Chains A and B, each alone.
Chain A
Amino acid sequence: MYRNIACAFDGSDCSRRALDVALHLARADQQKLWMIFIEEMPRYPGAPSETNEELERADAIFDKLRDEALEAGKKYGVEVVAEKRVGHPAQALVRYVKDAGIDLLVMGHTGHSKLWGTFLGTTADKVVSHATCSVHVVR
């Protein structure tokens, strides 16, 4: 049904459930799965070092999550291709699905900031509103 399936994975509980769903769907459609991780940089930093340090930290997290996704992919017999982008999570995801020609994006309903999402809307809310592809939000 879907040719290019991607899963937004940030290591939160909800995104782990989303990864499971995405792997099920990819296996059913006999497709590989694109795992996308967004590195969020601090806005308006006071020194370039601030950005560099956050990048290094985010890179280490990405390496860990990529290994986790690859392991999960092996269990399902699905090839997982991991990619990272830098930016505001919602904006970067919307841009990613457009650039990469993704048909379906699977993502968790809330990431690491549940409290904040309650007030300002979650990343999922924003992606559903602006993405150019179908979005499967996992609760």
Chain B
Amino acid sequence: MQNVWFVASAWMGIAFLASLISIRLGVSVALIEILLGVVAGNTFHIQSNEWVSFLATFGAGLLTFLAGAEIDPESLRSHLKQSMAIGVIAFLIPFLGVLAFAYWVAGWTYHEALIAGIALSTTSVAVVYAVLVESGLNRTELGKMILAACFINDFGTVLALGVFFANFNRWMVLFVVLMAVTLYFLPSCTRAIIKSLGATRVSEPEVKFLFLVLFFLGGLAKVANSEAVLPAYLAGLVVAGVFLNDRVLVNRMRSIAFTMLTPFYFIKAGLYVSLPALIPTAGLVMVLLGIKMLTKFTGVWPLSYGFGIPSRERMYTTMLMSTGLTFGTISALFGLENHIISQAQYTVLVTVVILSAVVPTLIAERFFMPDTGAEAAREKHAQPPVRAANE
């Protein structure tokens, strides 16, 4: 199909259907978009094209930027030691474990195994955050520490993706220098634009400024053969403090992302999953999922024990750190689009990533949910709850 409007309407139709299903099932729209992408790719053989790929790439970048911007810098500072230790280990051991298995046991080449290691080293901040909100733990020190550890874990992932496949030449030096300068001035410039021009202008200068920075840094990353998600994540981290005080800006950026950009990314991520390739590799999928969870356990559990986190919370933390979704698919798609991995390998990795969003969460909630309800009830009996009554 050549007509750009019909192509766009087909993609937006899938995105719209995903929203409807997501609302009905109470399951994330991102996951449904990936699954509908799988169906569309395998049954209707829908293909991506240049402009879809650009929207998808920018969607992934903006999602990464927003993920970085979600962190509470104060929370990160106050739990730096614990979250740094858990985050680094939670990245490193699964990365090395999956890399070693894929290289020595599954017979993948070094670069293919690298992509596998990176894709399965992630922790899904989004999945963890949703579970913490549900359990009420997001307001506790433990919850804040876990979230901070997830950010550090994902920083390891984007760093690995941005460094391992980059060209270390003069372009890389230029990229690093210009990125460092841009990131240094980004918070003050963003603040100044909001302050001088106002945060609610119809022409949205602050959003356009941030997009300009993301495009520019993405271009630099491309020149150095690195990945645009690395500068995007770092840009998000440095402006997190600004975002904390300007929820309007966050809301506008995520509306743009969720309406027009991320659907293209998630649907595209599903398009390349080959169902025929999944059948003969089902065993490998299960083994890789097991390795991801086991290596996360090996790294996170002893550290949690060392930090004196109680037994139930320790297992809960370990399980949550085993989740993955967005950065896992970003890493796998990077591997496929740069011809590092095959479509069959991409299928294996994305399937493991999707399962890793679901399986550890279910185990954590079913068997290791900390008893925050009983705590709330005790508080309630001491003092009645939300007094919204006739007063």
Residues in A lying within 8 Å of B, measured CB to CB:
32, 40-51, 53, 55, 66, 70, 73-74, 79-84, 86-88, 95-96, 98-101, 113, 116
Which chain B residue shows the least CB distance to A46?
B30
Please tell me if the beta carbons of B67 and A47 are within 8 angstroms of each other in the complex.
Answer: yes
Prevailing SS type, chain B contact patch: helix
Known contacts A40-B26, A42-B29, A47-B254; can you find 17 more A-B pairs with CB under 8 A? A43-B26, A44-B28, A44-B361, A45-B126, A46-B28, A46-B29, A46-B266, A47-B63, A47-B70, A49-B250, A49-B254, A53-B254, A74-B390, A80-B388, A81-B386, A87-B134, A113-B24
Please tell me if the beta carbons of A81 and B384 are within 8 angstroms of each other in the complex.
Answer: yes
Q: Taking A99-B374, A116-B24 as contacts, is the C-beta distance between A45 and B390 under 8 angstroms?
A: no
A-B contact count (CB 8 A): 129
A50 CA to B18 CA, complexed, in Å = 14
Size class of the B contact interface (CB-based, 8 Å)? 35 or more
A80 CA to B257 CA, complexed, in Å = 40
A131 CA to B1 CA, complexed, in Å = 55
Please tell me if the beta carbons of B129 and A86 are within 8 angstroms of each other in the complex.
Answer: no
Please tell me if the beta carbons of A49 and B133 are within 8 angstroms of each other in the complex.
Answer: no
Q: Taking A55-B133, A81-B389 as contacts, is the C-beta distance between A99 and B70 under 8 angstroms?
A: no
Of B63, B134, B374, B376, which one neighbours A46 at CB under 8 angstroms? B63
Q: Which of B237-288 contact A (CB under 8 A)?
A: 250-251, 254, 257-258, 262, 266
Closest 9 CB pairs of A and B: A46-B30, A99-B377, A45-B28, A49-B254, A82-B388, A42-B28, A44-B357, A45-B126, A99-B373
B15 to chain A, nearest CB (A): 13
Prevailing SS type, chain A contact patch: mixed
A19 to chain B, nearest CB (A): 15
A40 to chain B, nearest CB (A): 5
A98 CA to B127 CA, complexed, in Å = 26
A80 CA to B387 CA, complexed, in Å = 9
Please tell me if the beta carbons of B380 and A100 are within 8 angstroms of each other in the complex.
Answer: yes
A44 CA to B126 CA, complexed, in Å = 7
Is B82 engaged at the interface, CB distance under 8 Å to the other chain? no
